[in-house]
Structure 1
């Protein structure tokens, strides 16, 4: 279903993926700069530096409630323009931040802007595709989206080598402006006329209520939030685990982080190839159950080696976790959005807000529990994935692996 003439499939997927990648760039590009930022602003507690990530995610989560309804009222293109303007402001404020607290405020503004790209990208996919084809597009999108974390820490380290951490935020600004220009030139307005609503708070609240009370939508959004909490817990503590406290890789941190992220890309690629044949439910249910099993192994390894298992063992099991993670989120997202095409913007907004804040909250708990070992991360993975499996069981009335509608799920 293509209501308008959108760019060819490959270009469409690449553009949407890069719109989403602005979000990842805003997180992963700055990870190598934790040390220099801490030194510049006199931040002695390394766990406190994690708020560079979590402050961004707070702004990102909250503003999604705004962009979705706005996208349904004024259209996708003006919404993206507003979001990237706010993101650009946050980048500029971060470049000239005089204190750590000011930098965190700038990060909140960056996140507020990045949310516009996330909402518009998911909404545009829902405008143009549905069912297993939508899940396929989301998987290709996620695969390209994950390429950014593979290289982002290395790019951030490169900027640190030639200048300072301020250059990292300047590069985010340039990247966002380039994506905005591409979108403006190539992507038409995808909001169908019959779905364009006049502004109405009662209509927005009704859309949010429908999103929150549709069992499939709220169930899979909750499961996404729990799994996203695993990812945020990992990202928040990755620099401490790989670069400093646990494995002491120092300048090789981007390499370790990139290798793990590359495995996620492989998982997303395989999901995109298999989802139309296997189905979103079989793929995602296998992914989340396998994630829980791998997490149990992660806990066992951590306990066996006093919280510091050999790097290769830890890396292998962590890669298995994130490979399986890649089989869940794109499919969970497609299934959550499937019943809500008529309110795609509002639905994407509410579910993004809910999933992000849930994930950021749990990720913050996992990250702040870091004690110089990998045990808090492993335990967080296990607990959150078990809760996720239970939520999926509730969502599917106790049935796993079986499609609800053979032609669409």
Structure 2
């Protein structure tokens, strides 16, 4: 059983807040941009409105691709040093993006910013896996997601306020400043959690063996693919949210309010999951949530095909689906990581790459189908929900709602103070 190597005392609430802060940088880099996409497109000469989605896609591609490097690096050098390198890249790219002379330059800098943020995704998950296993990990991840989801609640409103006080470049200054603040917090307070004896050599054969362990574990990798499809559905909605709320429902400046309401549902969902997961279990919660997610998405799709969907009905369907998202994602990711404690960094990197790059590409395709109705989004949620369920069935040998979460001596690290 592993123990923490922290040289500084950090409480459990602060540890959770630190992890949530790291993950929130990613949500901020996406959601705070949404109100500014039309202004960026106009300033940088983007003619096709759907091409503005590439500001989000470029970030997600960099975010996904670089994770494959940060995983082995964090398993070799520990969690802190690679994380600090990534945060420095994130901050530098955010400040530089404010001075982009062309749309192409902006996309390149967003890609680089995403590469820096990759360290937060890989290492945040690895830090939690270093300290917790089984249902305890799912509980902590739910609390992290609860705090993390505060950012989507407030980020579009922050973006809207920044646009009222200055040009779209202010958004990048804000991102860079917040990233710098979190980097200082991490440097001062975050403990190293990877014991020296658990570090893996940075040799090609060792790295390949780590990847082999991840790719050949049917349960873990199937759950990782399931999470990719669920994330793809979410990204498809995020990339078109501004168009849906403003163009279809004419909410104008109230768009951040509607966006925040749905994100708030996800935060509440994550909190209730943290209360329930120890008693009910990761499998029962995530499997039930995905069934409701898919069924409600199918009903939403059928209703959307009958004609114009009023705002209240759209929000009702979306609220139920996104509540189920909050119940499923923390548990699905925990189930994917559960058998892979000895290669947590590499596993987190592989799943991060698969989920973010795959999910971003799937979501971008959905965004390109936007046609002035909510039907493409409803169809995306339904189809991808079916795919996610299919891979859960593969992971569980065709059975849902199992309770066989096995205790593993190497899978239950010590708690924090």
Correspondence 1:4 to 2:40? no
Q: CA deviation at 1:264?
A: 0.4
Q: How many residues align?
A: 406
Structure 1 segment 5-404 matched on structure 2, within 5 A:
5=6, 7-243=10-246, 245-304=247-306, 306=307, 308-404=308-404
Structure 1 runs of 4+ off > 6 angstroms?
A: none
Q: Secondary structure of the residue that 2:384 maps to in structure 1?
A: helix
* Mapped contact 2:89–2:112 kept (Cα < 8 A): yes
Q: CA deviation at 1:358?
A: 1.4
Query: Matches of 1:73 and 1:179 in 2, distance apart?
Result: 24
Q: CA deviation at 1:407?
A: 5.7
Q: CA deviation at 1:89?
A: 2.2
* Mapped contact 1:55–1:107 kept (Cα < 8 A): yes
Q: What do residues 152-208 of structure 1 show as CA deviations (whole Å, max 9, x unaligned)?
A: 000011110000110101111111111111111111111112211221111111111
Point out where structure 2 has 5 or more consecutive residues left out of the alignment.
412-417
Query: Matches of 1:60 and 1:72 in 2, distance apart?
Result: 19
Query: Matches of 2:114 and 2:172 in 1, distance apart?
Result: 13
- RMSD, matched Cα: 1.3
Which of the pair has the greater relative contact order for Cα pairs under 8 Å at 6+ separation?
2
* Mapped contact 2:23–2:124 kept (Cα < 8 A): yes
Query: Matches of 1:22 and 1:263 in 2, distance apart?
Result: 20
**Structure 1 equivalent of residue 414 of structure 2:** none
* Mapped contact 1:143–1:269 kept (Cα < 8 A): yes
Q: Secondary structure of the residue that 1:98 maps to in structure 2?
A: coil
Query: Matches of 2:250 and 2:3 in 1, distance apart?
Result: 51
TM-score relative to the length of structure 1: 0.97
Q: What do residues 204-262 of structure 1 show as CA deviations (whole Å, max 9, x unaligned)?
A: 1111111011011100000000000001001001010002x211111111001000100
* Mapped contact 1:208–1:347 kept (Cα < 8 A): yes
TM-score relative to the length of structure 2: 0.95
Point out where structure 1 has 5 or more consecutive residues left out of the alignment.
none
Q: What do residues 112-165 of structure 1 show as CA deviations (whole Å, max 9, x unaligned)?
A: 111111111101000111110000000000111110000000001111000011
* Mapped contact 2:3–2:195 kept (Cα < 8 A): no
